[in-house]
């Protein structure tokens, strides 16, 4: 993905996009903006122009690339946090972490029965839809 900021920290346009479009992509992905209105007003771009950008292939492609790069960054942080949660003393956090890991690795089907007793033992059983569970 092209850098959205140069060495001086200023926005650097993506080839084929205007400076405002490059800034908008950066703001959409990395900014702390609650509403799109805040972005197009800060860029001093008409609302209609801003929303027209979303119909342009190059803008959408570059926005998608920037979002994918952001998700990749977030995935690394999420995996580290998930690893911490697997060792958590809080049984609910540990259970959710186990469930996420199992689902991600296709070891968890539709249903998961979890029983936690007062001794903090965790019992996990995988149940197929066709089988009935015993309580």
Q: pLDDT tens digits for 14-38?
A: 668 998 999 999 999 999 999 999 9
Give the E-state strand segments of the chain in sequence order. Answer: 111-116, 122-127
Cβ-based neighbours of 96, under 8 Å, separated by 6 or more: 85
CA-based radius of gyration for the chain: 23
Span 8-13, average pLDDT = 61
**Would you state the pLDDT for residue 45?**
94
CA distance 33 to 29: 9
The 10s digit of each residue's pLDDT in 58-116 is 999 999 999 988 888 887 777 787 777 777 777 777 777 777 777 776 666 656 565 65
The 10s digit of each residue's pLDDT in 40-59 is 999 999 999 999 999 999 99
**Structure-token pair, residue 52:** 């027209």
Give the pLDDT band of residue 10 (cuts 50, 70, 90). Answer: low
pLDDT at 131 over 60: no
End-to-end alpha carbon distance in the chain: 53
**Would you state the pLDDT for residue 4?**
57
Half-sphere exposure of 135 (CA within 13 A, CB side): 0
Within 10 angstroms of residue 122's Cβ, the number of other Cβ atoms is 13
**Would you state the pLDDT for residue 40?**
95
């Amino acid at each position: 993905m092209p850098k959205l900021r140069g060495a001086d920290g200023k926005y650097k346009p993506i080839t084929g996009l205007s400076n405002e479009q490059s800034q908008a992509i950066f703001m959409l992905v990395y900014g702390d903006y609650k509403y799109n209105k805040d972005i197009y007003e800060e860029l001093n771009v008409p609302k209609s122009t801003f929303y027209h950008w979303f119909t342009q292939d190059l803008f959408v492609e570059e926005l998608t690339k920037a979002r994918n790069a952001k998700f990749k960054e977030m995935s690394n942080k999420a995996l580290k946090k998930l690893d911490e949660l697997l060792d958590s003393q809080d049984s609910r956090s540990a259970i959710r972490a186990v469930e996420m890991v199992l689902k991600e690795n296709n070891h968890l089907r539709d249903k998961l029965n979890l029983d936690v007793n007062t001794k903090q033992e965790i019992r996990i059983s995988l149940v197929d839809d066709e089988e009935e569970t015993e309580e």
